[in-house]
Amino acid sequence: MRLPRPEDIIQPILTHSDFFDLLPCFTKPKENELFTCWVYRMAHSHDLKVQTFFKVLFGNYNIWNRDIDRLVPDEIIHFLSKRNNIDYQKGLATTLKYYEGKLFPKLNFYGNSKWIMPYGIYHRKRFKYGMQFCPTCLNKDDTPYVRVYWRLSLLTFCGNCLKYLLNKCPKCNSPFVFFRQDVGYKNILEKSSIYNCFNCGIDLRNFSGEDVNPRTLELQSSLFLEVTKITSNSAYSKIGFFEVLHQFLAVLSSRYFRCVPVQKFMDKKFNVAYEPREGGIKNSFDFQTTEIRELRLNQAIWLLSNWPLNFLFVNKQIGNYRSHWIKDMHNPPSWFMKVFD
């Protein structure tokens, strides 16, 4: 039996609030703004807590017990876009669903999706560090807001500020879950903004990520530019590149014994001691710490640089075969398959 999708549940509720065309206060999404942040600002512009705001519009439909940036029903995006006088594509671009066909073929509805850092949701509490943030960006913003690309595992630093992204409060180690601030406070004015840690209340803008390593900057700055321009161009598609990049990261992160030679070779090349990978879903690339993801990305991007020379050089050194590189890969792009001819 198919489990009901949020779309199935939300449809009857929408009719309750269908009597007005526009919300009393418009809130346009900012450049690359994340859906939950947009809704958070929308609710506060109406002097409502985000949960109350949703209840007024959508009844008892509870969005906060799931990763709503990933799973928001289309009807809600349509509804909020129309009521804020923006087109649907602009509303959609605040969600991780927008990356379908751009960063990955299809969003995985019931499990984890490539490139998306998991929240690890249990009721409304988040246990994993699935949301990164740049305190320097928040500090520079006239209206501080959360970027949609901070949820992506393929970014470890901010290419605008050249600082590593943080993923937890430096004081109390709580995850960055800004909308939890609305829980447990009767009056929203008692709490300030998204830049406060939801747990200890400290102003996260007072901190800063460390300066990015120059080697990382050299290898990954064009990746940052690519990712951040996706939401401004609905026709963007370099999905083949991102599929191969993710595959290389899987090979560099897997415990599969055939992948060990390339891992040892690349670790030596990047002057780090080889450590056996533990494999398993928990240890796949998207779940790793910032430090590990940074290293693996540097290695994978180096392999893709001067295509196909670096890749062929490594394969010649370690005698790796085509089957190791394309293991479990669906629809590899033709330019990648050509290298094995």
Query: Angle at CA 42, nearest 5°, toward 204 and 135?
Result: 15
Stretch that binds Zn ion, among 68-76, 83-91, 99-107, 169-177 (CB under 5 A): 169-177
Stretch that binds Zn ion, among 23-31, 148-156, 194-202, 293-301 (CB under 5 A): 194-202
Closest approach of Cβ 251 to Zn ion, in Å?
30
* Residue 308, preceding peptide bond in cis (omega within 30° of 0): yes
Range 25-84, binding Zn ion (CB under 5 A): none
Closest approach of Cβ 211 to Zn ion, in Å?
12
Q: Does 312 bind Zn ion (CB under 5 A)?
A: no
Q: Which of 96, 161, 166, 245 binds Zn ion (CB under 5 A)?
A: 161
Residue located via tokens 């751009």: 102
What are φ and ψ of residue 328, in 5° steps? 60, 15
Stretch that binds Zn ion, among 22-30, 70-78, 190-198, 302-310 (CB under 5 A): 190-198
Residue 21 CB coordination number (10 Å): 8
Structure tokens at 69: 């940036």
Range 131-160, binding Zn ion (CB under 5 A): 134, 136-137, 158, 160
| DSSP secondary structure letters along 244-275 | HHHHHHHHHH---GGGHHHHHHHHHHTT----
Q: Which of 23, 39, 169, 251 binds Zn ion (CB under 5 A)?
A: 169
Residues 135/206, Cβ–Cβ less than 8 Å: yes
Beta-bridge partner residues of 157: 164
Q: What letters, b where the CB count within 10 A reaches 16 and e where it falls short, cover 256-272?
A: eeebebbbebbbeeeee
Stretch that binds Zn ion, among 42-50, 73-81, 130-138, 326-334 (CB under 5 A): 130-138
Q: 56 or 172: whose CB is closer to Zn ion?
A: 172
Q: Which helix (H) or strand (E) holds 88?
A: helix 88-92
Query: Angle at CA 66, nearest 5°, toward 114 and 90?
Result: 70
| DSSP secondary structure letters along 264-328 | HHHHHHTT--------SGGGSGGGS-HHHHHHHHHHHHHHHTTTTHHHHHHHHHHT--HHHHSTT
Q: Does 199 bind Zn ion (CB under 5 A)?
A: yes
# binding residues, Zn ion (CB under 5 A): 13
Distance CA 341, CA 243 (A): 20
Closest approach of Cβ 33 to Zn ion, in Å?
14
Q: Does 172 bind Zn ion (CB under 5 A)?
A: yes
Q: 169 or 212: whose CB is closer to Zn ion?
A: 169
Q: 87 or 211: whose CB is closer to Zn ion?
A: 211
Residues 233/311, Cβ–Cβ less than 8 Å: no
Residue located via tokens 């499990």: 111
Closest approach of Cβ 135 to Zn ion, in Å?
8
Closest approach of Cβ 191 to Zn ion, in Å?
13
Q: Which of 56, 200, 337, 339 binds Zn ion (CB under 5 A)?
A: 200
Stretch that binds Zn ion, among 70-78, 96-104, 195-203, 272-280 (CB under 5 A): 195-203
Stretch that binds Zn ion, among 12-20, 21-29, 88-96, 172-180 (CB under 5 A): 172-180
Q: 13 or 162: whose CB is closer to Zn ion?
A: 162
Q: 167 or 263: whose CB is closer to Zn ion?
A: 167
Q: Does 171 bind Zn ion (CB under 5 A)?
A: yes
Stretch that binds Zn ion, among 63-71, 101-109, 147-155, 200-208 (CB under 5 A): 200-208
Residues lying near Zn ion in the complex (CB under 5 A): 134, 136-137, 158, 160-161, 169, 171-172, 174, 197, 199-200
